[in-house]
Amino acid sequence: MNYTKHAKEMTASGVVMSGPGYYFGFVGLTNGANRSFKAWDNPTTAAGLKVDNYEMLGTNRAGGHELNTPVYCVSGLYVGVSGYDAVVYYYKFPI
């Protein structure tokens, strides 16, 4: 199976990819306040199947995680980024 590995910088909530692929984690930076990161299997909005929900303490300034088993997203990937920059990592399959 052919795929391409991608990383996308997100400074606000939005679409990471449309179409099928695997989500496998993110890295985020904060300005010192507590922040949240959420991801959904949805190509357009924050609804449907939630594939990630991560709360980061502001005292850490940087954080994130890589999933042990990547999550297959059928429709696409939408992320909710609250108050910090995040880099989202995912695999994208050719259509």
> Is residue 95 very low, low, confident or very high in pLDDT (cuts 50, 70, 90)?
very low
Number of domains in the chain: 1
Confirm whether pTM is higher than 0.85. Answer: no
CA distance 73 to 65: 18
pLDDT per position as a tens digit, 5-59: 777 888 788 998 888 888 888 888 877 788 888 999 999 999 999 999 988 887 8
User: Which CATH number does the domain housing residue 37 bear?
Assistant: 2.60.120
The domain in which residue 12 lies consists of 4-92
CA distance 67 to 12: 22
Q: How far is CA 86 from CA 3, 10, 22, 94, in A?
A: 22, 5, 17, 24
